[in-house]
Chains A and B, each alone.
Chain A
Amino acid sequence: QKEVEQDPGPLSVPEGAIVSLNCTYSNSAFQYFMWYRQYSRKGPELLMYTYSSGNKEDGRFTAQVDKSSKYISLFIRDSQPSDSATYLCAMGLLTGGGNKLTFGTGTQLKVEL
C-alpha cells in the first residue's frame, strides 16, 4: 500500500464547475498537508498548506483535512481553463532542516470552455 493515494484522473469539468480533488494517506505521523499545482514540464507550485484538521480557504481554493479519516481534499470554485494542470497532494514530515514530502501521484484536471 502506498503511503499516499490519489486518483490520477484525468478529470474533465466545464468552466465554472466546483472541482473536488482528494487524497488518502496511511502514515499518521504526517504533520503537514499541502497541495501543489504542476503545469506540464514545470516544477510544482505550492497552492495551499495546512497542519490541522478543518478547512482553510484562499480565494477560490479550499483545503480540507480530516486527520481522523486520514483524508484531505482540495476544492476549486468557479474553475477556469487556466486551472487545467496536474494537482499533487503532499504530506510533510519535519526533519532536522526541512519539510520532507511524500507526494500523491497527482490528478490531471482539465477545465473546458
Chain B
Amino acid sequence: GAVVSQHPSRVICKSGTSVKIECRSLDFQATTMFWYRQFPKQSLMLMATSNEGSKATYEQGVEKDKFLINHASLTLSTLTVTSAHPEDSSFYICSASDPHRGDTEAFFGQGTRLTVV
C-alpha cells in the first residue's frame, strides 16, 4: 500500500510551548490529508481536513487557532499544537488518500504521541 510517514513519533514538551507534527505522503501526491486525535482506549476522532493550497476545514469543537494546519505541498501537511497544555496530550495521526487509487483507501501515518508536561 501507499506510504504515509509521520514525524516525530513521540514528543514531550513543556506546557505553553508549541509542537509541530509533519505528515508526508512518500510515494504519492495527496491533495487532501486528514488529522485525527486518539485518546487512550478511545477511537480516532477527526480533527480537521487539510487541503493543499487552501485553508483547513475543522470539525466542530476543534479550535483552529490552537491546532494550526498547513498543507503547503501535495506531499506534506503539518499540524502545530500551539500553547500546548497537558489536556492536549494524545496520539495524533494523519491519513491521506491516493487519487490514483480512486480515493477509496486511506493510509495512515505511524502516529505521534504528544505528552505535555
User: Which chain B residues have a beta carbon within 8 Å of chain A's beta carbons?
Assistant: 1, 4, 6, 30-34, 41-46, 49, 51, 91, 93, 95-97, 99, 103-111, 113
Is chain B's binding surface mostly helix, strand, loop or mixed?
Answer: strand
Cβ–Cβ contact A100 & B49, under 8 A? yes
- B104 contacts which of A6, A44, A49, A88 (Cβ < 8 Å)? A49
B34 and A100 contact, CB distance less than 8 A: yes
* Complex CA distance for A86 and B4, rounded to whole angstroms: 20
Is A94 on the interface with B (CB-CB < 8 A)?
yes
Provide the bound-state CA to CA distance between A51 and B101, in Å: 14
State which size class the interface on A falls in.
20 to 34
Do B108 and A96 touch (CB < 8 A)?
no
Q: Contacts A49-B104, A49-B105, A98-B31: A43 and B42 contacting too (C-beta < 8 A)?
A: no
- Chain A residues, Cβ within 8 Å of B30: 98
Complex contact A102–B46 (CB within 8 A):
yes
Asked whether, in the complex, the Cβ of B46 is within 8 Å of the Cβ of A97, the reply is no
- Residue on A nearest B110 in the bound complex, by CB: A43
Secondary structure at chain A's binding surface: helix, strand, loop or mixed?
strand
Contact B31 A97 (CB under 8 A): yes
Q: Does A19 contact B (CB under 8 A)?
A: no
Given known A-B contacts A51-B104, A101-B34, A43 and B93 have beta carbons under 8 A apart: yes
Q: Which residues of A contact B32 (CB under 8 A)?
A: 95-98
- 5 smallest CB-CB distances across A and B, nearest first, come from A97-B32, A98-B32, A43-B108, A98-B97, A43-B111
